């Protein structure tokens, strides 16, 4: 078996960086000013990560022994001292140059903050995107790119990362949330466009991406300490509209009378709470009618195609939103019956064929499914809600039926019941009154 060596190198800022790809596929980074300390930390992590794995590769852990560690540390300290002495000489020379006015005003600023990187934010963003694409989902990387293009690059893209101030960035994002902000190109005052007021959620996501990007620039030694832009505080999120019980009954009746593939798909969502992308990605192999379950394994998403230009998008079949989103959901008899009644050959369906189309090479993308859902609501004569509102409605019905929160959370694909209760529970006034009546009736009975 081949012997693998620790991947450690020295960065421009003088620190050492170690990289190791975990068994789960994620890249793990280790930083330190002394190479041996980075190696020692990596050794402990790798040993824990590969614990119990019989076919694990052999690693050349040259600094495993204590004496070797001390020797390596001593050598690293010597190198660090030499680098510090060299840096001191450079700093001294820089100050002398500033004193005689060689570098002028720009030189004084660079003298305070250190050597200018010469990297614009757009250049740093390209490197950051490349690194994130090694770890994050393609859809997430597409989101980063879109936010950079729409909300960050127009203002800061041509600016040297060392010249970007955290307070300036905060004021810019605050202005985006208020509207009327002129986004200048290249850091000058020429307006690129006039932004409409953005939601607090959108602005905070842009802030999160900006913080991550500047932290990457810091780690790469391209700028000084930037800190962290504070998230904006705003009004609470709007209450999700849930379909009234009467409209739900009316819609289900309309679907039973008009059982086409997409309508049955909506019926399935009403009784399982799956996301629109998960429905579009559902295949016959994921459905077990005899066992009465469906298995959520994938999702369909339309994302920006980074390789085809700024405006191009594509639909991709990918893993669900999170690890907890891969789940099995039980089917009630009504759902099993409507599928069996309208798919005579369901037992012989190609397991790789999409449920909504019956074909392996053709799917219905989420945007089209949402349009079909809106058309279905109009045909059924019920009030309009978002497709995602059916997911909220399913969760609410389960909680009102006194299904335990953990089971509801598992069926929803949430990592915690707290998420389900906080964001996906919308009890009606009728349910509140009935619950209150039960509580007081019990108390009255116990007093007697």
What pLDDT, in 10s, does the model give residues 381-398?
999 999 999 999 999 899
* Domain finish residue from 113, 129, 156: 113
pLDDT tens, position by position, 206-242:
999 999 999 999 988 898 889 999 999 876 556 567 8
pTM above 0.85, yes or no: no
Domain-terminating residue out of 113, 129, 154? 113
- Total tally of structural domains belonging to the chain: 3
Assess whether 62 and 127 both reside in one domain: no
Going by pLDDT thresholds of 50, 70 and 90, the confidence category of residue 162 is: very high
Shared domain for 93 and 146, answered yes or no, is no
The reply to whether 235 falls in a domain is no
| Domain-embedded: residue 446 | no
pLDDT (tens digit per residue) in 239-276: 567 888 899 999 999 999 999 999 999 999 999 999 99
Question: CATH code at 203?
Answer: 1.10.150
Domain boundary at 90, 113, 136, which?
Answer: 113
Choice among 126-140, 331-345, 418-432 with the minimum mean pLDDT: 418-432
Q: Which residue has the tokens 């349910």?
A: 431
Are 288 and 417 part of one and the same domain? Answer: yes
In this prediction, residues 100-113 reach a mean pLDDT of: 39
Q: How high is the pLDDT of residue 44?
A: 83
Both 134 and 212 in one domain: the answer is yes
- The residue among 7 and 104 whose pLDDT is bigger is 7
Q: What percent of the chain has pLDDT over 90?
A: 42
Are residues 277 and 261 part of one domain? yes
Whether 126 is covered by a domain: the verdict is yes
Token digits of residue 300: 């369909």
Based on the fold, state whether residues 78 and 104 are members of the same structural domain.
Answer: yes
Q: Which of 219, 25, 47, 37 is nearest to 136 (CA)?
A: 25
CATH number for 346: 1.10.443.10
The mean pLDDT of 309-333, rounded to a whole number, is 84
**What mean pLDDT value characterizes the chain?**
79
Instruction: Mark whether 101 and 154 lie in a shared domain.
Output: no
214 & 260 share domain:
no
Whether residue 294 lies inside any domain: the answer is yes
324 and 429 within one domain: yes
Q: Which two tokens stand for residue 264?
A: 């049955």
Q: How far apart are the first and last CA of the chain?
A: 78
Q: Based on the domain organization, do 263 and 315 belong to the same domain?
A: yes
Q: What is the pLDDT of residue 53?
A: 63
* Residue 307: CB atoms within 10 Å: 7
Kindly state whether residue 228 falls inside one of the protein's structural domains: no
116-125 average pLDDT score: 82
User: Do residues 253 and 215 both lie within one domain?
Assistant: no
Chain segment 409-431, per-residue pLDDT in tens: 999 998 888 888 877 777 767 76
Distances (CA, A) of 359 to 262, 297, 344, 356: 14, 18, 16, 8
Q: What domain range includes position 207?
A: 121-219
Q: Same domain for 133 and 98?
A: no
DSSP string across 294-338: EEE--EEEEEE-TTS-TT-EEEEEE--SSGGG-EEEE--HHHHHH
pLDDT beyond 80 at 434: no
What is the DSSP track for 260-286? -HHHHHHHHHHHH---HHHHHH-BGGG
Evaluate whether residue 328 is within a structural domain: yes
Average pLDDT of the segment spanning 300-317: 75
User: What is the mean pLDDT of the segment spanning 6-35?
Assistant: 82
Whether 122 has a pLDDT exceeding 80, the answer reads yes
């Amino acid at each position: 078996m081949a012997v693998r060596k620790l991947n450690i190198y020295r960065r421009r800022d003088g620190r050492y960086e170690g990289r190791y790809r975990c068994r789960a596929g994620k890249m793990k980074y280790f930083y330190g000013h002394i190479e041996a300390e980075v190696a020692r930390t990596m050794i402990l992590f790798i040993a824990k990560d590969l614990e119990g794995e019989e076919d694990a590769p052999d690693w050349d852990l040259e600094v495993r022994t204590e004496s070797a560690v001390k020797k390596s540390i001593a050598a690293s300290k010597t190198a660090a001292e030499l680098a510090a002495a060299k840096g001191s000489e450079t700093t001294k020379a820089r100050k002398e140059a500033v004193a005689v006015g060689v570098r002028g005003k720009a030189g004084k600023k660079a003298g305070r903050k250190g050597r200018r990187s010469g990297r614009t934010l757009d250049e740093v963003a390209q490197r950051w995107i490349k690194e994130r694409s090694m770890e994050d989902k393609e859809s997430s990387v597409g989101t980063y790119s879109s936010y950079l293009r729409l909300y960050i690059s127009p203002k800061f893209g041509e600016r040297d990362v060392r010249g970007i101030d955290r307070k300036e960035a905060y004021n810019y994002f605050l202005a985006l949330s208020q509207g009327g902000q002129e986004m200048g190109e290249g850091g000058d005052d020429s307006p690129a466009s006039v932004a409409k007021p953005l939601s607090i959620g959108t602005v905070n996501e842009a802030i999160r991406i900006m913080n991550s990007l500047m932290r990457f620039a810091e780690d790469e030694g391209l700028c000084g300490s930037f800190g962290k832009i504070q998230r904006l505080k705003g009004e609470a999120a709007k209450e999700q509209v849930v379909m009234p019980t009467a409209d739900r009954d009316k819609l289900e009746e309309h679907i039973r009378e008009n059982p086409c593939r997409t309508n049955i798909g909506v019926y399935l969502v009403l009784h399982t709470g799956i996301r629109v992308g998960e429905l579009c990605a559902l295949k016959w192999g994921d459905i077990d009618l005899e066992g009465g379950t469906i298995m959520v394994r994938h999702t369909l998403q339309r994302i920006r195609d980074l390789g085809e230009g700024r405006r191009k998008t594509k639909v991709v079949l990918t893993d669900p939103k999170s690890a907890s989103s891969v789940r099995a959901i039980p089917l009630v008899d009504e759902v099993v019956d409507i599928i069996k009644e309208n798919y005579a050959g369901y037992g012989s369906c190609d397991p790789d064929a999409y449920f909504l189309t019956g074909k392996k090479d053709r799917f219905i993308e989420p945007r089209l499914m949402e349009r079909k859902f809106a058309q279905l609501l109009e045909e059924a004569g019920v009030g309009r809600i978002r497709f995602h509102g059916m997911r909220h409605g399913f969760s609410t019905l389960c909680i009102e039926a006194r299904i335990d929160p953990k089971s509801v959370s598992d069926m929803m694909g949430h990592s915690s019941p707290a998420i389900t209760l906080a964001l996906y529970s919308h009890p009606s006034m009728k349910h509140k009154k009935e619950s209150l009546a039960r509580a007081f009736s019990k108390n009255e009975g116990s007093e007697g």
